[in-house]
Structure 1
C-alpha cells in the first residue's frame, strides 16, 4: 500500500448520541459500523470495533493512503444497535445518508440480513462478520463475509463430541437469529449421526445474567454434552452455572463464543474441561498472528479475539482496495478485494487470508480446539 511516512490525522470514532459528520471531508473517507455496544453483547461489539479502530489508527498514523493522487485518511463512524436488526438497518441508513459511507461493518447475522434488503439499492458494501452460510448464498453483490461459514464447525464438533463424550445432547444456546440457525443445524447433524437430543432450552443471552432455570432444565435430562453459545461473556456465565449445578459433561461452544474468553468469565479453563470450540487466536503460531497479538496487547492491554483480528484485516484489505483502484465505489471495491488480500502487507493479515469466493466469502480454514487437562489443544479435523 502506498502509505506516507509522516504522522497523520488520528481516527475519529463516533458513537450513538454523538453527531455524525455530514459526509466525508476532503482527503477523508468514512467507513461505518453498526453493532452491539450496550447490553449483554456489548463486549462482543467492542471487541469487533477495537480491531477496526486499530486498523484505522495505523492507516492514519502513517499518513493515510493515496486516492486519486491525494493523501486520504479514514474516519470510522460507529453506532450502537444493541444487537437489534431493525436498529442496525436504521443505523445503516443514517450512515449512508449523513456520512456517505461506502461500507458498513456489522457483526451479527440479523443486522446483516436487514442491511441486505437495501444495500445494493443504496450502494454500500456490507462487511459481514458472521459465519451463517446463507449470508453469501443469496446473491447479494455488495456483501463480503469475513469469517468462515460455520457448517464445517457443526460437522467437526458433532463428530468429535459423539466419539469422545457421549450421544446425549442438551441444547442451551442463545435466542438471537444466528444462534437459532446454529442450533437447528447442529440438532439435525447430531440426530443424523445417531445422537439423541434430550433437551432444548434456548435462553436470551443478551438480557439475562441468571441462567439457573434454563440450565437446570437441561441438566435434569442427563445430557453428556451441552450445546452453548452466544457472545463470550454470557456463555461463560452459562458454563459457570452449569458446573455449579453439578454438570460434569462436555460443551459444544458455538463459534461466536471463544473458549479463552469464556474461561475468563466461567472461572478458568478447568471449568471448560472437555469443551469443543474454534481455535482461539491466542493459540495460533504463525508470525502474522503473533505480531498482531503483541501489537494489540500493547494498544488495549488484553488478548485479542478473532472478532478484532478478522475485522482488523478486513478493513486493511478494504483500504488496500481503495488505494490500488483509486476508488471508493462499492462495486469496484468488491471486485478488487481478492487482489487486495493477496497484495496487502502480511503483518496486517493475522489469519493469512488470500482468497475470496465468487459469492463474497473470505476463505479461511475450519479449526477445532478442545480443552484437555486445563489447556486449549488444537485438534486436526478429518
Structure 2
C-alpha cells in the first residue's frame, strides 16, 4: 500500500516557518508528534482513478493546518500547540481503508480524523476509529454513514458529516431531470456503497415524479467499457442517463454514450463535479449535469482568497469540491480543541457538537446525530470546459 504522510509543523513562532510536505513511510517529519503537538489524520484516495479528488480532499485539510500553525497554533488552556496532519492513502478501497483506519487507531497520539472520501471506505473505517475513541469528520454521502454510525466508547457521537447526504442529493438530481422533461431515465451505478446508494435515491424520487426508471443496471467502479449497457439504453429510447459513480468511470460512460450518438441528458453526482471528469470526458462533457454536496467556489465565503492561497500552495492544482469542506473541518477541530481545553480525544469529541464554525462553506454545525445542519445541494452544468452553477437546493 502506498502511504503518504503530510506533516506540517511550525518551526518557530518568530520565523513562522513551515516544514515541507513529506511523502514517505510511517513517520511524520519535524517532531514525530512529540512535545506540544496535536496529531490529526486524514484519509482519501491519493492514488488510483480517484486521486485527483482525493488529493484535493487532503489539500484542504493541509492548508488549514498550515494556516492555523502560522497564526500561532491552537490555544489549549493558555498553552499553544501546533497541529500535525498525517494524511493516508486509502486508494478508495474499503480493504485498504480498513488497514489505514487500524494503523491510525493504533496511534495513540491521533485525536481526530478528517475522512474518508468514499462511502464504502467510511463505512468500514468509522467503527475502527470509534472503537479507539477517535471522532471522524467525513464527506461520504451514503445516508447509512450516519444512520448506522457507531458510537464512541462513552456513547458520544463518533461520525460527523460535513456536507449534504444522498437523501438530499438523489432527489435533487431526479427533480432536475423532471424539470427538463426527462420521461425515461436509465439509472446505472458502479455497485459501490456510494454509487448504488445514490442511484437508489435518484430512482425512488424519479418514480414518484412519474419518470420511467425501468432500465436499472449496475457495472463496477473499474468498468472501462459501457457500450453494452449504453446500447441497451439507446434501444430502450431513454432520454436521460444517470450515473451513480465516480468521475473516472463517469467520463468513460459519457464519451461512449456520445460516440454511440446518444443525445440523452447525462446526470451525475458530486464525485463527478470535478476537473478530472472534464479532462477525461473532453468535448463529450458539454451539457452534462452534476450535483454537488459542497458549496461551489463562486459561492464560498472568501472563495477568491481561498483560491489564491490554494493555487499558490499547491502549484498546478485547482480548487475542487472537497478542499473547502475539509479546510473548514480542520477549523472545526481546532475550535473543538479550544472549547475542550484539552488534548484528550474524548473531550475533543464531546466538544465537536458544540461548535458552530463560520467558515468558507457557511456555518459548519451538527445536529445530535452528526449530520451537518442546513446543508445545500448545488446543480451544475458543464459549459465550455467548466461547471457552472444553475440551481441551489435546500
Same fold (TM over 0.5): yes
**Do the aligned residues in 1 keep the contact of 2:265 with 2:288 (CA within 8 Å)?**
yes
Aligned residues: 372
Of 362, 369, 379, 2:372 maps to 362
Of 18, 41, 44, 2:25 maps to 18
Show CA shifts across 1:61-107 (max 9, x none). Answer: 33322234432212211222222223212212212223531112211
- 2:57 maps to 48
- 2:207 maps to 191
**CA separation in 2, counterparts of 1:213 and 1:82?**
28
Report matched runs for 1:279-290 at 5 Å. 281-282=295-296, 284-290=298-304
Report matched runs for 1:67-146 at 5 Å. 67-98=76-107, 100-105=109-114, 106-138=116-148, 140=151, 141-146=157-162
Matched, 1:31 2:40: yes
Q: SS of the residue aligned with 1:251?
A: strand
- 1:315 maps to 330
Shift of 1:130: 0.9
> Deviating runs (4+, > 6 A) in structure 1?
none
Of 287, 290, 293, 2:307 maps to 293
**CA separation in 1, counterparts of 2:332 and 2:127?**
25
What TM-score, normalized to structure 2? 0.84
What TM-score, normalized to structure 1? 0.86
> In 2 relative to 1, CA 280–144 (structure 1 residues): closer, same or farther, beyond 3 Å?
closer
- 1:351 maps to 361
- 2:168 maps to 152
**CA separation in 2, counterparts of 1:47 and 1:242?**
28
Structure 1 or 2: more helix by fraction: 1
- 1:264 maps to 279
Matched, 1:179 2:184: no
Name which of structure 1's ranges 245-254 and 286-295 shifts more when overlaid on structure 2: 286-295
Q: Please, what is the CA RMSD of the aligned residues?
A: 2.9
> In 2 relative to 1, CA 363–6 (structure 1 residues): closer, same or farther, beyond 3 Å?
farther
- 2:319 maps to 304
**CA separation in 2, counterparts of 1:163 and 1:203?**
27
**CA separation in 1, counterparts of 2:106 and 2:288?**
49
Q: Structure 1: 5+ residue runs without aligned partners?
A: none
**Do the aligned residues in 2 keep the contact of 1:259 with 1:280 (CA within 8 Å)?**
no
